[in-house]
């Protein structure tokens, strides 16, 4: 027996709505969203720390005297700023570069039509997060003298 269109149950359509500021803590952002936000944050960090990078490059390459002051800044500090703070800033710069580079490679990979599905995007985002964190931990161990 053929049923009419009026007798078939209607499917509920999914409602998309914006989230409110109070819902930001409880909202579960997918891994690709985290990678995208961290990609922007890491780019901003690299831009803001550009004077620090120029200072490091200038003092490390100018002469032997400035190089020794450069290395002592990371050991003993400069003025009231302790040496561990310089190492921490350098570690943030290392993380931002590594994450930005790896996430940029992911974006390039996706731009050439690889991994354009939801599952591939989710998987590649997780890979970006894991690789950038692992490489940052390895660099932190070297920076803080664990090996």
Residue 76 lies in a domain: yes
Residue 16 lies in a domain: no
The tens digit of pLDDT for each residue in 131-143 reads 999 999 999 999 9
18 domain residue, yes or no: no
CATH number at residue 123: 1.20.1300.10
Considering its fold, how many domains does the chain have in total? 1
Q: pLDDT (tens digit, 9 = 90+) per residue, 69-125?
A: 889 989 998 889 999 999 999 999 999 999 999 999 999 998 887 767 888 889 999
What the block records as the tokens of 120 is 């591939």
- 22, 34, 112 from 26: Cα distances, Å: 8, 14, 34
Residue 64 belongs to a domain: yes
Q: Could you list the residue range(s) of the whole structural domain that residue 124 is in?
A: 29-143
Instruction: Provide φ and ψ at 11, rounded to 5°.
Output: -80, 140
pTM of this prediction? 0.79
Whether 103 is in a domain gets the answer yes
Domain contains 7? no
Other Cβ atoms closer than 10 A to 98: 20
Query: What gap in Å lies between CA 95 and CA 41, rounded to an integer?
Result: 11
Is residue 129 situated within a structural domain?
yes
């Amino acid at each position: 027996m053929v049923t009419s269109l009026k007798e078939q149950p209607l499917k509920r359509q999914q409602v998309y709505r914006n989230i409110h500021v109070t819902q930001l803590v409880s909202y579960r952002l997918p891994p690709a969203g985290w990678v995208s936000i961290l990609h922007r944050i890491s780019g901003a960090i690299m831009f803001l720390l550009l004077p620090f990078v120029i200072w490091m490059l200038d003092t490390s390459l100018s002469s032997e005297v400035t190089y020794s002051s450069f290395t002592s800044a990371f050991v003993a500090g400069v003025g009231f700023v302790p040496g561990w703070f310089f190492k921490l800033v350098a570690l943030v710069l290392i993380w931002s570069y590594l994450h930005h580079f790896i996430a940029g490679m992911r974006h390039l990979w996706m731009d050439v039509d690889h991994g354009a599905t939801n599952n591939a995007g989710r998987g590649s985002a997780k890979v970006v997060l894991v690789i950038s964190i692992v490489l940052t931990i390895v660099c932190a161990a070297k920076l803080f003298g664990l090996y």
